[in-house]
Amino acid sequence: MSFNCIARTTIELACGRWLFLLIGAGLLVSPLNAEDSLASLLRLAEQDPIEDPVLLTQFTEFSESLDAIESPVTEVLQELDEGSLQRSVRQSFTSESFDRSRGEQQQNNFTAFPDFDRGIVVFGEEAALKIGGFVKADFISDFDPIDSVDSFDTSEIPVGAADRKNARFHARSSRLSFDTRWKVQQEVVRAFVEADFFGGEDGSNGSLRLRHAYGTMGYFTAGQTWTTFTHPSAVPQTLDFEGAVSNVNRRQGLVRLDLPLGDSGWSWAVSLEDPRIEIDIPIGITGEGRTETPDVITHVKLERDRSDFQAAFVIRELGFQPVGDPVLTDTAWGLNFTGSAKFLEDTRVYSQITFGEGIGSYRGSPDVVSTGPNTAEILPMFGWMIGLKHVWNDRLTSNLTYSELTLDPIAGQAAPTCVQPTIWREPDSQSDRPRVHRD
């Protein structure tokens, strides 16, 4: 072989390798899509003849390999593009007022509203719907007598009852929810409905019961949801559905205004709410409770990265109407101080102090009690709670809660019993009118 032939072959090999490297560099900076793929670019390069057999063989094998991986790569890129589009659409229907949770304090599985990115989510151009829920099975065994078999309701513990036990399996705590969101003038509007199966009598299979049904737009909320008097972040995460004995966890119809106070972490809320009352009617009186005005509730809240605190106040009017007589009314009030703080990285503490007069129904107790055959009084209440929650790992947590509720006995009040029959009779004279007054 002459020197010229050797030089020519060397030059051809070098040019071929440079052409190969230039093609590879071009591929690295070129976008990959179905119309302009790696294999397509290499096919264009094949139009220039390559005389070196070794280089041609390597080039052909490389082109065939790219043909084999082109389809999977294209599918992955399309899925990534669809995922990015879906995330973009999803974010357009999220709102800080609905989804913000400072300091992980409101991440409570049984009280916080579900995230919008889990469950069955259906997106449209103008609206989005999420279908959520869970199945919760309760296996309960009572070693001492209690007349509430579905939950640990302390008001149903009998006094002096014969020894007995209860065994109960149910799934009444299971839930189903619908979260719908759409935009009105760039403002995200939300309608949320959630139900469980705790309707019906204790011990039954249960029927559908409404928990939440409300709408939120901007600073306004209307419908049925947690009362402004409670603080969901301080609700203990207990397995038993009843929860702590003094914890305020009432949900009711309301119209509420929530206002953030700048960027300070402070916020203020005021609401008009459903005025449900519980009255222990004297045995000598026939009549029924009246709710002529809504409960007025307000609270101030401070939220930080590792803690949040709230002070709430309620003022309400309690009414009772004897048959054929005008309505008798009096004023009740209550205060609720709550807090939740991250004590350690995986441990938080929460607490509550509640007191007032005529607010027992906010915790399943009477607001007014009978003190005689034809007299009744507003019942004072004091309750407190403290708890600790520790997260061991992603699947295991521990929760310890101590709670106490005190209802001061009033002179003339009947001794508490588990079941007390109510005897009705017509009043004999005007003097039989109940005298409802504050303690």
Residue-level pLDDT, tens digit, the chain, 439 residues: 443 433 344 344 444 444 444 444 444 444 444 445 555 555 555 555 556 666 667 667 766 666 666 666 666 566 656 566 556 656 666 666 566 543 343 343 444 555 666 678 888 777 888 898 889 999 998 888 888 888 888 778 888 888 888 899 999 999 999 999 888 887 888 999 999 999 988 888 889 999 999 999 989 999 999 999 999 888 887 888 787 888 888 999 999 999 999 888 899 999 999 999 999 888 888 888 888 899 999 999 999 888 899 999 999 999 998 888 898 899 999 999 999 998 888 899 999 999 999 999 998 888 998 888 888 889 999 999 999 999 998 888 898 999 998 887 666 566 554 333 322 223 333 333 333 333 3
CA distance 287 to 321: 5
Residue 392 in domain: yes
Q: 202-227 as b/e, with b when 16 or more CB fall inside 10 Å?
A: eeeebeeeebbbbebeeeebebbbbb
- Check residue 223 and give its pLDDT: 97
Strand partners, 221: 216, 256
pLDDT tens for each residue of 120-164 = 888 877 788 889 888 999 999 888 888 888 888 877 888 888 888
Last residue of a domain, one of 42, 70, 92: 92
Residue 372 in domain: yes
CA distance 7 to 116: 69
Same domain, 243 and 386: yes
Tell me, what amino acid is at 30? S
Residue 302 in domain: yes
- Check residue 222 and give its pLDDT: 97
Query: With contact defined as beta carbons under 8 Å apart, do 325 and 365 qualify?
Result: no
| Burial of residue 26 (number of CB atoms within 10 Å: 0-12, 13-18, 19+) | exposed
Residue 294 in domain: yes
Last residue of a domain, one of 45, 61, 92: 92
pLDDT tens for each residue of 74-96 = 665 666 565 665 566 566 666 66
- Domain count for the chain: 2
Residues with Cβ < 8 Å from 374, sequence gap 6 or more? 282, 284, 285, 427, 431, 432, 433, 434, 435
CA distance 229 to 269: 10
pLDDT tens for each residue of 94-121 = 666 566 543 343 343 444 555 666 678 8
Same domain, 227 and 85: no
- Check residue 158 and give its pLDDT: 86
Residue 391's nearest CA partner among 110, 99, 108, 116 is: 108
- Check residue 58 and give its pLDDT: 66
- Check residue 117 and give its pLDDT: 63
CA distance 209 to 225: 13
Residue 69 in domain: yes
Residue 380 in domain: yes
- In the structure encoding, which two tokens stand for residue 354, read together? 């509640």
Residues with Cβ < 8 Å from 244, sequence gap 6 or more? 236, 238, 385, 387, 401, 403
- Taking the mean position of all CA atoms in its chain, how far away is CA 120? 17
- Check residue 8 and give its pLDDT: 42
Residue 150 in domain: no
Same domain, 80 and 224: no
Element of type H or E holding 141 = strand 138-142
Last residue of a domain, one of 63, 92, 121: 92
Residue 433 in domain: yes
Range of the domain at 368: 219-439
